[in-house]
Amino acid sequence: MSTDTPSAADQLLIDHAHRHGFTVTAKMLEVWRSRGLLPGNVPGGGLGRGRGSTSSPPPESFHLVLGLARHAGRGKRPTNVALLLFDEGLPVPEQTVRAAFTAAVDTLTIHGDDAPDTDPDQRLDDLAAHIADAGLTVTLVPARARRIDEGIARLARAGGHTWPPPELAAFDENPGPPTATPKDAALAAAAAAINGTMSLEDIGDLLRAMNPTATANPIASLVETTRQDVPEVADALLTDFNQLALGPVRDARDHLRDLAATAPLQDLAQAWKTAADVRQWALDLCGRVEEELAAGQLGGAAGEWLNGRYAMAGLAVLSTLKERDRPPAGHALDALVLLYQLGEFRRLDRLLPGCQWHLLAAEGLMPPPTRELLQDLIGRNVPRAGAGLDVGPAS
């Protein structure tokens, strides 16, 4: 097809874009189709007497061409454009959506990826040496979170209060200062990605390091003492669970790629929306706490901050603050990780019936948008919000 003279079908799309204030050319349509962002025209019947045949744009093309006119442009990655269209609920071809999610996983690179057959222990040793030599670190507590922590602590001391209260602090069996460094965190994160799991000890260390001003961390202590208090549960979590639910230990990125390739599109869309809602909730919480600090009066927002600071809700806040302007690929990663976590909760429910899932409803334990997706576990008779995120049976 000539890129200068549009076909009658393409002219319909060009005119449609023009009526909505956009300039679209035949060349642009050709490029978008070559990148899988726009479906081809649908052949129609012949015109007869050697005059060729007709074709028409699929109905979804009229919506897509407007989205592409808004988002596509020189230097824009096609995968990011696909994700932006997906964010708007536009009918991007399924294969293109899945490829974009997979490409997001591929942005996660770790030293040693070019030698995947290296002995696992040797690879971890090499990785540790690389992190030390390169001075790589992970930001454990972003500056905004530190300021909020310090502001709350200052006002609490002025009012004669401590957090956590003595009754809760008493449950911390190791109330010493955190020992994990930013370099330790970098190694633990990379090792977790390679092995698809993390030890309870590493999890406890990181929970403490991400809340360094806390005088006690009962949640970290609960993780650290799981093997000591209920060894059979710890073994099920870290051994049987991994083998039965996940199969042989493998790179966590492979699990995310599997989800990108197989999860129902409605599940990917729901996880995408929930990831966006979590980020918005985190930013809103920061703003509300800062308003209370500016007024010199701790209120409900500070209480929500303190409750969540020890658990998954607090981790979501820290993650959000580390990268305020999350690119589309990063957002896709957030959605896949969330989808993966929800799937593991449900697989664990099948492996260990009777888990006290109602505890997930405790204020501060999880971000509210995430908690809504787990209503089938938290309350067996409580309807779930939104579309069901069913990632399939355990393998």
184-228: pLDDT as tens digits: 888 888 877 887 777 777 788 888 888 887 878 888 887 777 766
Positive or negative torsion for Cα 226, 174, 131, 320? positive
Same domain, 138 and 218: yes
Same domain, 68 and 158: no
The answer as to whether 211 is a domain residue is: yes
Number of domains in the chain: 2
pLDDT at 297: 92
The answer as to whether 383 is a domain residue is: no
Same domain, 205 and 311: yes
Domain hosting residue 81, numbered range: 8-38+59-94
Q: CA angle, corner 204, sides to 200 and 209, nearest 5? A: 145
The answer as to whether 299 is a domain residue is: yes
Same domain, 291 and 363: yes
pLDDT, one tens digit per residue, over 117-160 is 777 778 888 888 888 888 878 788 999 999 999 999 999 888 88
Same domain, 164 and 228: yes
Same domain, 73 and 133: no
Same domain, 126 and 80: no
Same domain, 171 and 264: yes
The answer as to whether 45 is a domain residue is: no
pLDDT, one tens digit per residue, over 337-362 is 999 988 888 888 887 777 777 878 88
Q: CA angle, corner 68, sides to 65 and 72, nearest 5? A: 150
Same domain, 261 and 176: yes
The rounded mean pLDDT for the chain is: 83
The answer as to whether 90 is a domain residue is: yes
Q: Quick one: pLDDT band at residue 243, thresholds 50, 70, 90? A: very low
Average pLDDT over residues 246-258: 75
Secondary structure of the chain: what % helix, strand, coil (to 5)? Answer: 60, 0, 35
Same domain, 20 and 133: no
The answer as to whether 390 is a domain residue is: no
Q: Residue 252's CB: how many other CB atoms inside 10 A?
A: 20
- Dump the DSSP string for 239-280: IIHIIIII-S---HHHHHHHHHHHS-HHHHHHHHHHHHHHHH
pLDDT at 3: 54
The answer as to whether 50 is a domain residue is: no
pLDDT, one tens digit per residue, over 44-101 is 744 444 445 578 999 999 999 999 999 988 888 999 999 999 999 999 999 999 999 9
pLDDT at 228: 66
pLDDT at 381: 35
Long-range contacts formed by 318-326: CB under 8 A, 24+ apart: 318/140, 318/141, 318/142, 318/145, 318/210, 319/282, 320/278, 320/279, 320/282, 320/283, 321/142, 321/144, 321/145, 321/282, 321/286, 322/139, 322/142, 324/283, 326/279
Same domain, 14 and 124: no
Q: Which DSSP letter does residue 237 get?
A: I
Average pLDDT over residues 227-231: 60
The answer as to whether 273 is a domain residue is: yes
Instruction: Output the 3-class SS for 143-204.
Output: HHHHHHHHHHHHHHHHCCCCCCCHHHHCCCCCCCCCCCCHHHHHHHHHHHHHHCCCCHHHHH
Same domain, 293 and 332: yes
